[in-house]
Amino acid sequence: MTRGVRGATTVVENEEKEILSKTKILIQEMIQANTIQASDVSHVFISVTKDLNQAFPASVLRDIPGWKYVPVMCMAEIDVPKGLEKCIRIMMVTNINTPQEEVKHIFQNEAVKLRPDLVKGGKA
């Protein structure tokens, strides 16, 4: 069954090292929490808010063993007034047998505010 696995995190600074580091941590937790294999992933979309422009967060997937050929794309998030700043969002589309309501969506740092209903115990 094809499922979307959501993830989001925030950074403190618009700095390449932090953007890449926080993205990699998020992706690795998404993979681990849902037992995802790269060969089962159709594609990954990564969006960033307009205040993040020092790195392409999608590049970190190429550093994860086995993930080099997974199609991934970065894009700009809609600039909504009063929206969460310095935010990186991920939508990973994969084939897993997990029922929709049991998919583990991962929200870290300030991004826990985006979907508190999906954050276990109200915290990431």
- Residues flagged as binding site: 6, 89
Nearest-angstrom CA–CA distance, 100 and 92: 14
Dihedral Cα 27, 29, 11, 67, nearest 10 deg: -20
Q: Which residues are annotated as a binding site for prephenate?
A: 6, 89
> Which pair of structure tokens corresponds to residue 36?
């995802």
Number of other residues whose CB lies within 10 A of the CB of residue 86: 21
